[in-house]
């Protein structure tokens, strides 16, 4: 049985959160001289002399409507990277606890674990189809394991993790299961946010950095039970989402039609790349993708990387990642960029 209090770090349960000026005064007033702001105005314009809403109320209300969850089931972070770090700090005691993840996967789980002095246990995804070997995973759960990170669709492999495997992990583990859905908007499978009620140990991460095209604004989301979200709110830096990000995100949320069109175009372009690249001499395999990138195995990734760079095209060389030997991760670009890539790779000199 999942028991939240028993896995939260005791110091977090005990601590008092920071109380901001905006928290302490509620009501109406005309003179705000309680937060050491510059009341003369802002050199950046607008109302940027004022601290932003620490609870991001308007933004959460709108996101809640769109995602069919309650506003207090949403945590907003300075990118989902902030949510990853705070989840570790919420549940894992430095030098004592551990997390479990499935490489090849997103690198920040490991970086955050190392920063927080949390042991990282790893079970490799299956070699042929990058899936979770459920039996092995359940055997690798230790008393110190507090969080399991599942990235689906997975970065850098691009595939979604089977729902049945995820469900088995959710049911077989008494700690927190984080499903990182950064790329969910490009996948056909539904989000796990639909199943939050069923699993009190589930945290779903999403981000505005991918489909929404807002990587520069830094806005990530965590969805979970009201109890888990209130603990994340307790430990976050008070003003972690700046005012312009809150305003711009609120406006972007009204552009659902444009979002749909952009996703459709990216999916069409992904399809085009998925068909064109395997026909090329230099390409060994193009892995199926549910994301806005594809993983491509070539004969010699370093040579191809250098060659593309000479042509002014930057891809991500994932060759040094175990399980991704000779693989390049290629983001889906615009029609013109993708044609440029295909043209360049077609002209890659044949070597014996």
Ligand X SMILES: Cc1ncc(COP(=O)(O)O)c(C=O)c1O
**Is residue 338 close enough to count as binding ligand X by CB under 6 A?**
no
DSSP structural state of residue 311: T
Would you say 79 or 282 has its CB closer to ligand X? 79
Residue with tokens 């069109």: 261
Backbone angles phi, psi at 321, to 5 degrees: -85, 120
Residues 6+ apart with CB under 8 A from 238: 18, 20, 54
Distances, alpha carbon 336 to alpha carbons 85, 136, 209, 266, 340, in Å: 37, 44, 22, 12, 6
- Alpha helices for 189-225 (secondary structure H): none
**Is residue 151 close enough to count as binding ligand X by CB under 6 A?**
yes
| Residues 67-86 interacting with ligand X (rule: CB under 6 A) | 79-81
**Is residue 220 close enough to count as binding ligand X by CB under 6 A?**
yes
Count of residues binding ligand X (CB under 6 A)? 12
Would you say 106 or 186 has its CB closer to ligand X? 106
Question: Among residues 75, 91, 106, 305, which is the contact residue for ligand X, using CB under 6 A?
Answer: 106
Residues 6+ apart with CB under 8 A from 313: 340, 341, 344
**Residue 27 corresponds to which tokens in the numbers above?**
């009501």
**Is residue 201 close enough to count as binding ligand X by CB under 6 A?**
no
Per-residue contact string for residues 20-49; x = within reach of ligand X by CB under 6 A: ------------------------------
Would you say 229 or 345 has its CB closer to ligand X? 229
Question: Among residues 56, 101, 155, 240, which is the contact residue for ligand X, using CB under 6 A?
Answer: 155
Nearest to 271 by CA among 184, 338, 340: 338
Whole-angstrom distance, CA of residue 288 vs CA of residue 86: 32
Cβ 202 to ligand X shortest distance, Å: 16
Neighbours of 186 (CB within 10 A): 21
| Residues 295-324 interacting with ligand X (rule: CB under 6 A) | none
Neighbours of 41 (CB within 10 A): 11
Cβ 41 to ligand X shortest distance, Å: 31
**Is residue 152 close enough to count as binding ligand X by CB under 6 A?**
no
Would you say 291 or 345 has its CB closer to ligand X? 291
Instruction: Give the residue at shortest CB distance from ligand X.
Output: 79
**Is residue 182 close enough to count as binding ligand X by CB under 6 A?**
yes
Residues that bind ligand X (CB under 6 A): 79-81, 106, 151, 155, 180, 182, 207, 209, 215, 220
């Amino acid at each position: 049985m999942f028991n939240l209090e028993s896995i939260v770090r005791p110091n977090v349960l005990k601590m008092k959160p920071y109380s901001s000026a905006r928290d302490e005064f509620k009501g109406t007033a005309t003179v705000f001289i309680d937060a050491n702001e510059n009341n003369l105005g802002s050199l950046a314009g607008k109302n940027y002399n004022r601290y932003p809403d620490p609870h991001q109320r308007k933004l959460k209300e709108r996101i809640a409507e769109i995602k069919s969850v309650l506003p207090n089931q949403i945590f907003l972070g300075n990118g989902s990277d902030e949510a990853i770090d705070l989840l570790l700090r919420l549940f894992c005691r430095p030098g004592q606890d551990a997390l479990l993840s499935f490489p090849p996967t997103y690198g920040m789980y490991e970086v955050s674990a190392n920063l927080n002095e949390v042991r990282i246990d790893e079970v490799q995804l299956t070699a042929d189809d990058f899936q979770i070997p459920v039996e092995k995973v359940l055997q690798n759960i230790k008393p110190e394991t507090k969080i399991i990170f599942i990235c689906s669709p997975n970065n850098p492999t691009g595939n979604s993790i089977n729902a049945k495997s995820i469900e088995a992990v959710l049911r077989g583990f008494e700690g927190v299961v984080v499903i990182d859905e950064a790329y969910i908007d490009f996948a056909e499978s539904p989000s796990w946010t639909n199943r939050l009620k069923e699993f009190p140990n589930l945290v779903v991460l999403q981000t505005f950095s991918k489909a929404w095209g807002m990587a520069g604004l830094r806005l990530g989301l965590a969805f979970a039970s009201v109890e888990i979200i209130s603990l994340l709110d307790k430990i976050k830096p008070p003003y972690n989402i700046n005012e312009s990000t809150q305003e711009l995100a609120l406006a972007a949320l009204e552009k659902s039609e444009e979002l749909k069109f952009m996703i459709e175009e990216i999916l069409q372009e992904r399809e085009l790349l998925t068909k064109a690249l395997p026909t090329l001499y230099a390409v060994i395999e193009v892995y199926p993708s549910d994301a806005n990138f594809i993983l491509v195995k070539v004969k010699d990734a370093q040579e191809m990387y250098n060659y593309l760079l000479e042509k002014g095209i930057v891809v991500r060389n994932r060759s040094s990642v175990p399980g991704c030997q000779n693989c390049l991760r290629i983001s889906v670009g615009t029609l013109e960029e993708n044609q440029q890539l295909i043209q360049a790779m077609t002209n890659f000199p044949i070597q014996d």
